[in-house]
Amino acid sequence: MKNRRLLYYIMLIAGAAIIIYAQDDAKDNWMILIFGIALLMGGLFGINKGITGAKPDMNSFIRSEEEEE
């Protein structure tokens, strides 16, 4: 599981570095720019999925859903 999280962080950093590199001359490097954006989004998606993957507790402070008067 930790290997997968490390892979997502590497994808995030590599994607950001590629985007910064490709922005120098975006007309010639548009394929590299698209690849960098795909890596960045894949890394962000994986990290977000890992953060929100935990199920919330069902023990809430609300005991009933009746409206108080």
- What's the confidence (pLDDT) of residue 61? 63
| 8 is a domain residue | yes
Please give the residue that has the higher pLDDT: either 6 or 69.
Answer: 6
Indicate whether 30 belongs to any domain.
yes
Expressed in angstroms, the distance from the first to the final Cα of the chain is 49
What digits encode the pLDDT tens for the residues 10-42? 999 999 999 888 877 767 778 888 999 999 999
Residue 63 lies in a domain: no
Domain ranges, residue 36? 2-51
pLDDT tier at 9, thresholds 50, 70, 90:
very high
Q: Within a domain: residue 12?
A: yes
Task: Please give the Cα distance from 13 to 55 (Å, whole number).
Answer: 28
Distance between CA atoms of residues 24 and 66, nearest Å: 60
What pLDDT, on a 0 to 100 scale, did the predictor assign at position 10?
A: 93
41 touches 12 (CB < 8 A): no
The predicted model scores a pTM of 0.67
Task: Give the chain's domain count.
Answer: 1
pLDDT at 67 over 70: no
